[in-house]
Amino acid sequence: MADTMRAQRFYADTKTIAVEDVLIPEPGPGEVLVKVAFCGICHSDLSLINGTFPAQLPVVTQGHEASGTIAKLGPGVTGWAEGDRVVLAAGKPCLACVNCLRGDMSNCLRIRLMAFAYDGGWAEYTVAQPFGLTRIPDNVPMEQAAILADAVSTPYGAIVHTADVGIGESVGVWGVGGLGTHMVQLARLVGAAPIIAVDIKPAILDRALAVGADYALDARDPQLAAKIADATGGRNLDVAFDAVGLSSTFEQALNSLTVGGRLVGVGMSADAPSIGPTSIFNLFQRKVLGHLGYQNADIGTLAQLVSLGRLDLSRSISDIVPLEDVAAGIEKLDKADGDPIRILVQP
Ligand SMILES: [Zn+2]
Ligand SMILES: [Zn+2]
């Protein structure tokens, strides 16, 4: 194996990126080296580049949605072998905070996010902790496996864990891009009804219907509230997911809830939306829930659903760019060129 590899690097001081030769990392004790097959481009990658998210390191390799094969085991690693097909968790618990020390790693207070706190997957190789790996069945394409690590699992976590959507509950999804498309599909899988997709582009609204929404409504339609009421027999929504995270989407989703309904915030921005007067908030017994990420076991659940044909992600890969063209892929997502669900980098 060569000593060096190609990797994308983000420089915090100039907010610029480059693809460069760097040393192939050596897996330490309890770590594995993974040869990256594919790694998604996510809006949170854009947020680091444009400064919405603060940089944690002066220079870092981005990309946190990766599939690959194990290339080398570090000392002391058991249960895994070179060549195993895996998806990498997009974060590492610190193992030192009070929650980690009581065994509650999924609620780590200082979770270290891949591509922010340590080098990510827009590179030929990356290092991972074995307990963050998920084995991928042979019949699941590596392209689809990659997006399980965020674009599919974050919606899964929002629907199954944070919102705990039940059969027959009415669900709205604001923003039907990389996250929202999979929210619609997973809401359908858990039996939500009706499912109402809200966006502003006709092509995206058509696509939302194709992946399982019962209704697709334009966020700018002055009749939106009346149409949501109509679609739900006058009840409005049990659960509203805001996959965008702007004040406008958050507040529109909040005001579409039925009494006791819950808003789940998934998309992120620097906006600071209002929950409105406390009199209304309390009177309607609204619940506002922040959501981040997923549990590692969720990736295995999703891989099984794909493997058994229950979840179809074949439409989710909009484009694949070579690592050398990562900048073009980032720009394409930033401009929503072709309304991508997910663009992948292939190192
Ligand atoms: Zn992401
Ligand atoms: Zn911790």
Residue 157 inside a domain? The answer is: no
pLDDT bin (cut points 50, 70, 90) of residue 31 is very high
Residues that place a CB less than 5 A from ion ligand 2: 93-94, 97, 100, 108
Region 117-132: what's the mean pLDDT? 95
Question: Based on the number of CB atoms within 10 Å of its own CB, is 267 exposed (0-12), middle (13-18) or buried (19 or more)?
Answer: buried
Q: Is the pLDDT of residue 106 over 90?
A: no
Q: Is the pLDDT of residue 107 over 90?
A: no
* Paired tokens of 192: 């939500």
Helix axes 178-189 and 202-210, enclosed angle (nearest 10): 30
pLDDT value for 83 = 98
Residues 256 and 332 in one domain: no
b/e for 26-65, b at 16 or more Cβ within 10 A? ebeeebbbbbbbbbbbbbbbbbbbeeebebeeeebbbbbb
Q: 96 C-alpha to center of ligand 2: Å?
A: 5
Q: 90 C-alpha to center of ligand 2: Å?
A: 15
pLDDT value for 52 = 87
Integer CA distances (angstroms), 173 to 118, 177, 181, 199, 205, in order: 32, 10, 9, 8, 11
Residues 8 and 143 in one domain: yes
Q: 106 C-alpha to center of ligand 2: Å?
A: 8
Could you give the strand order of the β-sheet that contains 59-60, starting from the edge strand earlier in sequence? 16-23, 4-11, 59-60
**Domain endpoint, select from 290, 316, 335:** 290
In the chain, which ranges are continuous DSSP H helix? 43-49, 98-101, 142-147, 153-156, 178-189, 202-210, 224-231, 247-254, 278-283, 296-307, 326-334
pLDDT in tens, 89-105: 998 899 999 999 999 98
Separation between Cα atoms, residue 7 and residue 333, nearest integer Å: 20
Q: How far is CA 211 from the centre of its chain?
A: 18
Residues 43 and 140 in one domain: yes
Q: Are 267 and 257 in contact (CB under 8 A)?
A: no
Residues 281 and 307 in one domain: no
Region 46-75: what's the mean pLDDT? 96
Residues 120 and 170 in one domain: no
pLDDT bin (cut points 50, 70, 90) of residue 2 is confident
Residue 158 inside a domain? The answer is: no
For the chain, what is the mean pLDDT?
Answer: 96
Ligand nearest to the CA of 109: 2
Q: Where residue 248 sits, what CATH number does that domain have?
A: 3.40.50.720
To the nearest whole percent, how much of the chain has pLDDT over 70? 100
pLDDT in tens, 238-267: 999 999 999 999 999 999 999 999 999 999
Q: Is the pLDDT of residue 1 over 80?
A: no
Residues 109 and 172 in one domain: no
DSSP state of 52: S
Separation between Cα atoms, residue 44 and residue 62, nearest integer Å: 10
Residues 131 and 210 in one domain: no
pLDDT value for 68 = 98
Q: 102 C-alpha to center of ligand 2: Å?
A: 10
Residues 97 and 202 in one domain: no
pLDDT bin (cut points 50, 70, 90) of residue 39 is very high
Containing domain of residue 130, as a range? Answer: 4-152+293-346
End-to-end CA distance of the chain: 16
Region 279-284: what's the mean pLDDT? 96
Separation between Cα atoms, residue 288 and residue 183, nearest integer Å: 18
pLDDT in tens, 131-152: 899 999 999 999 999 999 999 9
b/e for 2-11, b at 16 or more Cβ within 10 A? eeebbbbbbe
Q: List strand residue ranges (DSSP E) for 74-149, in order.
A: 85-88, 91-92, 112-113, 125-128, 133-135
Q: Where residue 101 sits, what CATH number does that domain have?
A: 3.90.180.10
Q: 226 C-alpha to center of ligand 1: Å?
A: 33
Q: How far is CA 242 from the centre of its chain?
A: 13
Q: 45 C-alpha to center of ligand 1: Å?
A: 7
Ligand nearest to the CA of 43: 1
pLDDT in tens, 202-243: 999 999 999 999 999 999 999 999 999 999 999 999 999 999
Q: Is the pLDDT of residue 288 over 90?
A: yes
Q: 31 C-alpha to center of ligand 1: Å?
A: 23
Count of structural domains, the chain: 2
Range name among 3-7, 35-39, 110-114 with the lowest pLDDT average: 110-114
Q: Are 84 and 44 in contact (CB under 8 A)?
A: no
Ligand nearest to the CA of 107: 2
Residues 23 and 137 in one domain: yes
Sign of the CA dihedral running 294, 158, 209, 40: negative
Give the Cβ contact number of residue 319 at 10 Å.
16
pLDDT value for 131 = 86
pLDDT value for 218 = 98
Question: Based on the number of CB atoms within 10 Å of its own CB, is 287 exposed (0-12), middle (13-18) or buried (19 or more)?
Answer: middle
Ligand nearest to the CA of 99: 2
Region 179-183: what's the mean pLDDT? 97
Residues 101 and 9 in one domain: yes
pLDDT value for 316 = 96
